[in-house]
């Protein structure tokens, strides 16, 4: 692709497991503004790979809410549930190189291996099944991606908002799942393949997913893809410091649409983010010209 044809491409990739809430809207808004400020295209991808929790009615509501907010997409929607053959082919490439292995561990098995000082909630897989001899176990198994040996798995990247990040995959992540035990595709594999094949150049998302970025950079490179740029956002939290979630029904789009106009919501989020000095009503389109990452807050934003 020549420079003349090159165009920045961002994406919003919600999971249709419930109605969007204010935190989802915040991520969508900043992703949309960032790519539009660069003259790029915004791609909508529905990440419906969890068959137990994904519902088409939620996907329809997400699209309705985005359109109501003025966050229109240039391409899509693309549904991950329709892309299984693509993921299968990419997983086979890894398997052929010995980069994956079956894992029979339960969550209880994995938690039992965690050291007492690992109290931040992060679960690091210790490689229990890494070198099992074939035929040792039977029954359903997850598929894990091997990370390098300790000291060789250090990934450094520059986050678009939080600057340089360095993560040791071996000690901070461990071998990670690329296909679940029930056969469903794991987030890390699907998102890496889709971002690459859809030409995504910029990923904007909440900083709770920051640790996913080095795993995705590593996986992308092992598959021969150039990883996108990653930019992470501060999280929207309630007054008790808890991240907003789909459990906060008073802040989901059903409640918000019944009480406010789209410009009210966009204006409040822009004010909280640092994009305007007061929570004045504004459209997303009106924010594009003045958008700058340097204006965005770094710490969690309280609602």
pLDDT tens digits, residue range 161-181?
Answer: 999 999 999 999 999 999 999
pLDDT of residue 134: 82
Give residue for tokens 């770094």.
Answer: 298
pLDDT of residue 27: 97
Q: 200: which DSSP letter?
A: -
Separation of alpha carbons 46 and 150, rounded Å: 35
pLDDT of residue 119: 43
Block mean pLDDT (10 aa), the chain, length 303: 72 96 96 98 97 95 98 98 98 97 89 58 85 85 95 95 96 94 96 98 96 96 98 89 70 94 98 96 98 95 86
Pair of tokens at residue 98:
């010995």
Q: Is residue 135 classed exposed, middle or buried when 0-12, 13-18 and 19+ CB atoms within 10 A define those classes? A: exposed
Separation of alpha carbons 143 and 183, rounded Å: 9
pLDDT of residue 249: 64
Give residue for tokens 């649409």.
Answer: 257
Distance of CA 199 to the CA centre of its chain: 16
φ and ψ at residue 187, rounded to 5 degrees: -55, -50
Pair of tokens at residue 181:
């035990």
**What pTM does this model have?**
0.92
pLDDT of residue 90: 98
pLDDT of residue 135: 78
């Amino acid at each position: 692709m020549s420079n003349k044809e090159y165009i920045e491409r961002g994406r919003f990739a919600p999971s249709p497991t419930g109605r969007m809430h204010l935190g989802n809207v915040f991520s969508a808004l900043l992703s949309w503004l960032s790519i539009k400020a660069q003259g790029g295209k915004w791609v909508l991808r529905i990440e419906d790979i969890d068959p137990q929790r994904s519902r088409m009615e939620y996907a329809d509501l997400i699209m309705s809410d985005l359109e109501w907010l003025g966050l229109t997409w240039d391409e899509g929607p693309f549904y991950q549930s329709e892309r299984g053959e693509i993921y299968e082919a990419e997983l086979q490439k890894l398997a052929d190189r010995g980069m994956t292995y079956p894992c029979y561990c339960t969550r209880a098995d994995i938690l039992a291996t965690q050291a007492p000082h690992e109290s931040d909630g992060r679960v690091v897989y210790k490689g229990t099944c890494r070198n099992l001899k074939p035929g040792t176990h039977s029954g359903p198994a997850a598929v894990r991606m091997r990370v390098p040996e300790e000291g060789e798995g250090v990934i450094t990247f520059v986050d678009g908002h939080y600057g340089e990040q360095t993560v040791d995959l071996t000690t901070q992540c461990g071998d990670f799942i690329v296909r679940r035990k029930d056969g469903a595709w794991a987030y890390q594999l699907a998102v890496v393949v889709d971002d690459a094949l859809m030409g995504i150049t910029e990923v904007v998302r909440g900083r709770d997913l920051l640790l996913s970025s080095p795993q995705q950079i590593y996986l992308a490179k092992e598959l021969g893809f150039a990883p996108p740029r990653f930019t992470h956002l501060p999280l929207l939290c309630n007054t008790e410091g808890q991240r907003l979630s789909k459990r906060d029904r008073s802040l989901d789009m059903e409640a918000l649409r019944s009480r406010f106009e789209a410009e009210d919501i966009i204006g409040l989020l822009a004010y909280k983010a640092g994009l305007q000095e007061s929570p004045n009503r504004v459209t997303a389109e009106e924010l594009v010209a003045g958008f700058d990452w340097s204006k965005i807050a770094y710490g969690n934003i309280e609602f």
